[in-house]
C-alpha cells in the first residue's frame, strides 16, 4: 500500500512538472499560444481531408473505402486495394485452377495516426499482386470509438476485425500477414502472444513487447534494490551505489523518454490539456518528428502540403465528409471540436499495454477453427521446444523492426533478451540512423516493404539474404530464431 502511494505520488509530480515545463517551452520558444493557422494551412488540411476521407473517392491509387461493423454495432473504417480484387474476380471467372490465391496483408497504425501512416508502403509496386488492407483503430481516423480502451475491449475489437477480414478476403491456401506500428504494434504483439492463429506472420515495428519490457524493467529494479540493501549494511562499499545507478540507467532513460505517457495519465481535467493546447502543439511536433524534421541536420518547417496531409491523417474526416451518404458513423461528429485527440489519448490510460484479455466465446470458437500454419512447428517461443516461453512470449513467427535512434524506447529494455520471447522463424531487425516513424522514413518504409514482400512471396530464402548490397551497412540482424 505504501509503495503504491509513493509511486502514484511520484508519477503525479513528475507528470505535472513535465506538463508545466512543456507549456512554458511551447509558449516561450515556439509562441504556441499566439500562432494561429494561416488561411493557406487551413485550405491544405481541407484539400487533404477531401482527398483522403471522401468515401466516394479513391484515397490512394487502387484503394477504396470500406466499413466493417462489429457485433456490438461499432463501425470500423478501412481501405482495401481494389485493383488486385478486380484481377482476382477476373481470374476466378476464367476458372483457371492454376492461379495461386492472393495473400493478404493487414496494416494497423498507432498514435496519433490513421491508415495514411502506411501510404508509402501501400503504394509499393512490389506488393501489387496482393490484397492490402489498412484499418483505422477504434477512435482514430474514420473508425467509431469504443466504450473503453482497455486490453479487453481493444484486443477483442481488433481480433474480431481480423477474423472478419480473413472471412471476407482470405482464400484457402493463401496466407495472411499483420503489419503493425507503435500502439498498433502493442496490439500486434499481444495478439501474436494470445491469439497467434490470426496470422501466419507478424511484422511488429517501433514498440516494446509488453511483458518482455516489464520483465527487463522489474529485473533491473530488483537488482538495484538488492545492491542498495547491501550498501546499507556495508556503507563503505561506495561501488555498490555506482553499480546500482548504472543498473537503473536504462529504466531512468525510459522514464525520461516516456514523459508524455505520464502526462497523458494525469487525472482529469489536467490530462486533456496536453494533446490540445497551443493549437495542437504536441500533435504538430509529432508530425515534424515523423517527417524527420527535428534532427538538427534536417531541421526545417514542414511545407503547407506536408503539414496539411499530416493533420488530415491524424484528424480524420471533416464535417463535409461525415455528411456524405453511406459513410462514416454519425458519432464521429462528436470528435470534430478537438480533432479526436481526447479520444485518441485514452489508449495510453486504460490498461491496453498489460491489462488482461478475457476472450469472448465467439472469439475462442473462431480461433479454434483456424488451421495452424504447418510452418510454425511447435509454435513455442525461443525459450524451448516443450514450453510456451515466459509470459507474453509471441507464439507465431514475427519480424521485429526497430529504429536504432528511436527516441521513444530505451534499446536495452527493448532488445535485451528479446530472443526468449520470439517463436521459431522470427527475427529482430535494427535499422541504423532510423527513428520511430519507420513507415514514413525512407529507410524504414523501404525495409518494411522488403519484409512484407518477402513474407507475401512465401518467405523463400532467408530474410537476411534480401538485405545485402545497398542494405548491408544500414540493416543489422540483432536476433534470428
Q: Is the pLDDT of residue 205 over 90?
A: yes
* 72-92: average pLDDT: 75
pLDDT for the residue 298: 57
pLDDT for the residue 187: 98
* 67-92: average pLDDT: 79
**What are all long-range contacts of 454-460, with beta carbons under 8 Å and residues at least 24 apart?**
455/105, 455/175, 455/177, 455/200, 455/201, 455/203, 455/399, 456/103, 456/105, 456/127, 456/130, 456/175, 456/177, 458/175, 459/201, 459/375, 459/425
pLDDT for the residue 84: 55
* 178-188: average pLDDT: 98
All 3 cell numbers of residue 193?
A: 502472444
Only one residue has cell 470500423, namely 76
Tens of pLDDT along 379-395?
A: 334 443 345 789 999 99
Three-state secondary structure readout of the chain: CHHHHHHHHHHHHHHHHHHHHHHHHHHHHHCCCCCCCCHHHHHHHHHHHHHHHCCCCCCCCCEEEEEEECCCCCEEEEEEEHHHHHHHHHHHHCCCCCCCCCCEEEEECCCCCCHHHHHHHHCCHHHCCCEEEEECCCCCCCCCCCCCCCHHHHHHHHHHHHHHHHHHHCCCCCCEEEEEECHHHHHHHHHHHHCHHHCCEEEEECCCCHHHHHHHHHHHHHHHHHHHHHHHHCCCCCHHHHHHHHHHHHHHHHHHHCHHHHHHCCCCCCCCHHHHHHHHHHHHHHHHHHCCCCCCCCCCCCCHHHHHHHHHHHHCCCHHHHCCCCCCCHHHHHHHHHCCHHHHHHHHCCCCCCCCCCCCHHHHHHHHHCCCCHHHCCCCECCCCCCCCCCCCCCCCEEEEEECCCCCCCHHHHHCCHHHHCECCCEEEEECCCCCCHHHCHHHHHHHHHHHHHHHCCCCCCHHHHHCHHHCCCEEEEEEC
Among 276-280, 297-301, 339-343, the range scoring the smallest mean pLDDT is: 297-301
**299 or 356: which carries more pLDDT confidence?**
356
pLDDT for the residue 19: 97
Q: Is the pLDDT of residue 204 over 70?
A: yes
Distance CA(42)–CA(105), nearest Å, equals 34
**295 or 356: which carries more pLDDT confidence?**
356
Distance CA(46)–CA(312), nearest Å, equals 8
**50 or 371: which carries more pLDDT confidence?**
50
pLDDT for the residue 339: 95
Residues 431/438, Cβ–Cβ less than 8 Å: yes
pLDDT for the residue 376: 42
Q: Average pLDDT, whole number, for the chain? A: 91
Return the domain boundaries, the chain: 43-208+353-480
* 265-288: average pLDDT: 95
pLDDT for the residue 13: 97
**375 or 471: which carries more pLDDT confidence?**
471
pLDDT for the residue 64: 97
Looking at CATH, the fold of the domain delimited by 43-208+353-480 is given as: Rossmann fold (3.40.50)
- pLDDT classification of 94: cutoffs 50, 70, 90: very low
Q: Is the pLDDT of residue 6 over 80?
A: yes
Strand arrangement of the beta sheet that strand 104-108 belongs to: 63-69, 75-81, 131-135, 104-108, 176-181, 201-205, 398-403, 427-431, 475-480
* 452-469: average pLDDT: 92
pLDDT for the residue 292: 76
CA torsion through residues 374, 203, 424, 395, sign: negative
pTM of the model: 0.94
Q: Which residues pair with 67 in a beta bridge?
A: 77
- Sorted by sequence, the CB contacts under 8 Å of residue 391 that are 6+ apart come out as 211
* 107-129: average pLDDT: 96
Q: Is the pLDDT of residue 247 over 80?
A: yes
Q: Is the pLDDT of residue 378 over 70?
A: no
pLDDT for the residue 471: 86
Tens of pLDDT along 121-169?
A: 999 999 999 999 999 999 999 999 999 999 999 999 999 999 999 999 9
Distance CA(353)–CA(372), nearest Å, equals 26
pLDDT for the residue 374: 42
Amino acid at each position: 500500500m505504501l509503495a503504491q502511494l509513493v509511486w502514484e505520488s511520484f508519477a503525479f509530480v513528475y507528470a505535472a512538472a513535465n506538463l508545466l515545463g512543456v507549456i512554458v517551452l511551447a509558449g516561450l520558444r515556439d509562441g504556441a499560444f499566439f500562432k494561429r493557422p494561416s488561411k493557406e494551412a487551413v485550405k491544405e488540411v481541407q484539400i487533404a481531408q477531401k482527398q483522403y476521407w471522401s468515401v466516394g473517392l479513391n484515397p490512394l491509387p487502387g484503394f477504396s473505402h470500406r466499413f466493417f461493423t462489429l457485433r456490438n454495432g461499432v463501425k470500423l473504417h478501412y481501405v482495401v486495394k481494389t485493383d488486385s480484387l478486380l484481377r482476382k474476380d477476373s481470374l476466378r471467372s476464367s476458372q483457371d485452377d492454376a492461379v495461386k490465391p492472393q495473400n493478404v496483408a493487414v496494416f494497423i497504425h498507432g498514435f496519433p495516426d490513421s491508415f495514411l501512416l502506411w501510404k508509402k508502403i501501400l503504394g509499393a509496386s512490389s506488393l501489387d499482386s496482393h490484397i492490402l488492407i489498412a484499418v483505422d483503430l477504434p477512435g482514430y481516423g474514420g473508425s467509431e470509438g469504443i466504450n473503453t480502451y482497455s486490453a479487453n475491449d481493444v484486443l477483442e475489437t481488433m481480433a474480431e476485425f481480423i477474423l472478419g477480414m480473413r472471412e471476407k478476403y482470405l482464400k484457402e491456401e493463401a496466407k495472411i500477414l499483420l503489419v503493425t506500428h507503435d500502439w498498433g504494434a502493442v496490439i500486434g504483439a499481444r495478439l501474436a502472444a494470445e491469439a497467434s492463429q490470426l496470422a501466419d506472420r507478424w511484422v511488429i515495428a517501433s514498440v516494446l513487447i509488453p511483458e518482455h519490457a516489464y520483465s527487463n524493467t522489474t529485473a533491473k529494479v530488483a537488482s538495484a534494490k538488492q545492491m542498495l540493501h547491501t550498501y546499507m549494511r556495508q556503507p563503505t562499499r561506495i561501488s555498490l551505489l555506482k553499480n546500482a545507478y548504472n543498473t537503473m540507467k536504462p529504466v531512468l532513460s525510459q522514464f525520461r523518454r516516456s514523459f508524455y505517457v505520464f502526462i497523458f495519465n494525469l487525472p482529469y481535467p489536467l490530462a486533456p490539456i496536453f494533446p490540445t493546447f497551443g493549437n495542437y502543439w504536441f500533435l504538430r511536433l509529432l508530425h515534424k518528428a515523423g517527417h524527420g524534421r527535428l534532427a538538427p541536420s534536417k531541421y526545417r518547417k514542414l511545407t503547407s502540403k506536408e503539414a496539411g496531409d499530416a493533420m488530415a491523417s491524424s484528424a480524420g474526416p471533416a464535417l463535409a465528409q461525415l455528411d456524405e451518404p453511406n459513410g462514416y458513423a454519425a458519432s464521429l461528429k462528436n470528435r470534430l471540436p478537438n480533432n479526436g485527440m481526447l479520444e485518441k489519448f485514452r489508449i495510453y490510460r486504460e490498461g491496453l499495454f498489460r491489462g488482461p484479455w478475457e476472450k469472448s466465446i465467439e472469439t475462442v470458437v473462431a480461433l479454434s477453427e483456424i488451421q495452424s500454419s504447418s510452418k510454425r512447428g511447435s509454435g513455442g517461443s525461443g525459450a524451448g521446444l516443450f514450453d510456451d516461453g515466459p509470459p507474453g512470449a509471441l507464439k507465431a513467427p514475427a519480424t521485429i523492426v526497430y529504429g536504432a535512434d528511436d527516441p521513444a524506447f530505451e534499446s536495452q529494455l527493448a532488445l535485451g533478451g528479446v530472443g526468449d520471447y520470439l517463436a521459431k522463424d522470427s527475427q529482430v531487425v535494427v535499422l541504423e540512423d532510423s527513428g520511430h516513424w519507420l513507415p514514413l522514413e525512407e529507410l524504414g518504409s523501404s525495409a518494411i516493404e522488403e519484409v512484407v514482400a518477402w513474407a507475401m512471396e512465401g518467405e523463400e530464402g532467408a530474410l537476411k539474404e534480401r538485405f545485402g548490397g545497398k542494405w548491408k551497412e544500414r540493416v543489422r540482424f540483432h536476433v534470428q530464431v
